[in-house]
Structure 1
Amino acid sequence: MKNYAPTIPVCQLDEKNYFVGMTIADLDPLENNDHYLIPRLCIQAKEPQPKKGYIAQWTGDNWQYIEDHRGETVYSKETGEVIAIDEPGVLPATVTTMPCPDIYHQWSEKANNWVEKADAAQLRLQNKRSTAGTLSRMQMLSQLEISLGTKKDALIEAAEKAMTGIELIKIRNYILETQAFSLANELWWNFLTGILQIQPDHVFEMWEEARTI
């Protein structure tokens, strides 16, 4: 009587026939032959050879190798955000493995890389303004007097020479009444850089110096 091995190795698959690993099938105790109890989602086949960056998939006759980027870090070309890859296969055309340097860049298919946005300089300036914080009334007006020799009355006079109507009323009220000056305020920024003609870099220098007052 021929003796059969109590178990044999079999390949375990997932629901989409991707190779998961090796397991065993037991010899059928009710059959006096080489009949084995093959577990669900398992096949009798030679174990596929590992291939870096790929996963083996059973076609019904043999193994085919599919690109597998699961676990890799990829980025949306639209937003630069990290995208999770949940399924094997070729990477979508909408993602890249290169991280976006910052919010001032956008993806270029022509360059096949991240390129600086056309308005990057303006965006950086806006961001710098919005994160500059606020200065108290005393800090701002004292700094203007120190840096420019310009007192409050001179500020009003400069506004009256260059502005009219509602804009003049707004800036006059801002100078006379506000308790917290902000570079994010478009009216105030335009007054400093347009009416007083202070260069943006100098505005930020003055702003930082004013914090010490």
Structure 2
Amino acid sequence: MTEPIPIPPGGARDVFGPNLDRATRYVEILATAGLERGLMGPRERPRLWDRHVLNSAAAAGGFSEGEAVVDIGSGAGLPGVPLALARPDLRMTLVEPLLRRATFLQEVVDELGIDIRVIRGRAEEKAVIAEAGRADVVTSRAVAPLAKLAGWSAPLLRPGGRMVALKGASASEEVERDAGALRKLGFGEARVEVVSAPDAEETRLVIATLGTRMGSRGPRSRAGGPRRR
């Protein structure tokens, strides 16, 4: 017997407002094609709303109006698609290296009729940096350890841009462990912020601001190297 498609909990309307129908359709796609194509595990099906979609959208309050956001290693579209549905003012780009996932993402974007750009490639590739770089925010969810994630995020950010990584219970430990690596990449002190959406699991955000200008050989500090205005 086929399990029923998860229905939206009451809090979903508060999060997605007029885009609730699109969010519901997205969950339906994840529960069907997403599982069939191996982008979501079968055990996640009953938890798509609380553990994945609403959990991702919980970060929406941390973005300013109209910011350019790049979701790296987007996979099935998390957190980028829920964020774009909760905050349609954001200029969202999904970056995904695997062809089958990038194809799925483009199909989702087309099906939902939302203004999201999909780029197939790795975040560190020059072509991806050229196309998606100077973003206000680089975000991600369950992609890599913090130090590696910061190394991928920094070249895509404008000076003063932010890395906003959705992390699990070990977020504080990762921040403490990788503080030195983030400083070397030009990030200021990272902080952990716990946010939540109605009827969803808590989301831990690791937030760090890039305070240096990125050069071709890595970060260029304010004190050393030419300054541009």
| Same fold, TM-score > 0.5, yes or no | no
TM-score by length of 1: 0.20
Q: Return the structure number with greater relative CO, CA threshold 8 A, min gap 6.
A: 2
Q: Compare the two structures and name the one with the higher helix fraction.
A: 2
